[in-house]
Amino acid sequence: MLLIPICVYSRSFADRFLPEAVFVSLLRRLLLLLACVATTAQAQPLISIIIDDIGDRYEYGRRALELPGALTYSILPHTPYAVHFARQAHAQGREVMLHLPMQAENGKRLGPGGVTLDMTEQAFRRTVRENLAAIPHVRGINNHMGSLLTRHPGHMDWLMSELMAQGGLFFVDSVTTVRTVASHVALEHGLASTRRDIFLDSDPAPDSIRRQFARLLTTARQGGSAVAIGHPYPGTLQVLAEVLPQLDSLGVHLVPVSQLIAARQERSPTLWRASLSPSPPAAKSLKP
């Protein structure tokens, strides 16, 4: 911490050096400057980057966890390396999420632990609990696929109720469809939550990922914060290894998702009650 000593005005000091009025004027200017510096530091844009789909492939997961910075890792339940990478991420001080498979419009296979539209509430809740129990150190959840299920308020109500019952968990809407109601229902339950702003690698080509990362920075600078989702693709790992060490010089701060959610709530307390605004336009390459 930088400590700046400030001389307290006394008559002997004024008699020897400065008139009182001049000293007080200089002191006020110094305090104003310090206030401006503090405000600038507090207003530094925040970004969070979630790396999805961890757990299926060892090599991709290993390389993802070698990346620097406060990345957040979202892990697929009941996959071969889920527990290993969850424990490793936690040991490194990184945040761990459950990447909950949800039914997509295109009927794509969900893999283990998926929740679907035809489930009863009891089966749905049981599956969510089993998924949470299967991954250690989980702090929150985001949806894997889910372009069908996240459109249905009833099923999202079951999910958010279960997360509230578990206590202390947050939810990130991956926004795989413009018709999602997931984040809205989370807010209605008073659950700590936010939405994805940028997909880094819908196009996995490195040049495209660099452009998306630039969009992430622009979004954060304009709004104060931004959430990105990427995957352990070779191009994504390559680009992140290039850009993450440069974040300080770029004037943005990488934080875990839970910290960004808290910052958004602190900066805009009314957001949690006024967030029933239309979803952002869908990209052509949204995940299913």
pLDDT tens, position by position, 243-264: 999 999 999 999 999 999 999 9
CATH of domain 49-272: 3.20.20.370
Report pLDDT for 84: 98
Report pLDDT for 19: 58
85 CB neighbour count, 10 Å cutoff: 23
Q: Give 102's contacts (C-beta < 8 A, 6+ positions apart).
A: 110, 114, 115, 116, 143, 144, 145, 146, 148, 149, 150
pLDDT digits (tens, 9 = 90+) for 184-241: 999 999 999 999 999 999 999 999 999 999 999 999 999 999 999 999 999 999 999 9
Report pLDDT for 258: 98
Domain boundaries, the chain: 49-272
Residue pair 160/189 in contact (Cβ under 8 Å)? The answer is: yes
Measure CA 282 to chain center: 19
Whole-angstrom CA distances from 283 to 17, 96, 149, 176, 203 are 66, 27, 19, 9, 11
Bridge partners of 54, per DSSP, are: 75
Bridge partners of 48, per DSSP, are: 227
Report pLDDT for 283: 40
Token look-up 């299967």 returns 134
Report pLDDT for 267: 83
DSSP 224: S
Among 62, 45, 61, 97, which residue's Cα sits nearest to residue 255? 45
Measure CA 72 to chain center: 7
Whole-angstrom CA distances from 223 to 40, 138, 187, 273, 280 are 14, 28, 20, 18, 14
Residue segments in the chain with a per-residue pLDDT below the cut of 50: 1-14, 22-27, 31-41, 272-285
Report pLDDT for 274: 46
Write down the H helix ranges in the chain. 11-16, 20-42, 58-65, 82-91, 121-134, 153-166, 182-188, 206-223, 234-243, 247-250, 257-267
Report pLDDT for 168: 84
Bridge partners of 172, per DSSP, are: 142, 194
Residue pair 180/150 in contact (Cβ under 8 Å)? The answer is: yes
Q: Please give the Cα distance from 86 to 251 (Å, whole number).
A: 30
Token look-up 């700590």 returns 192
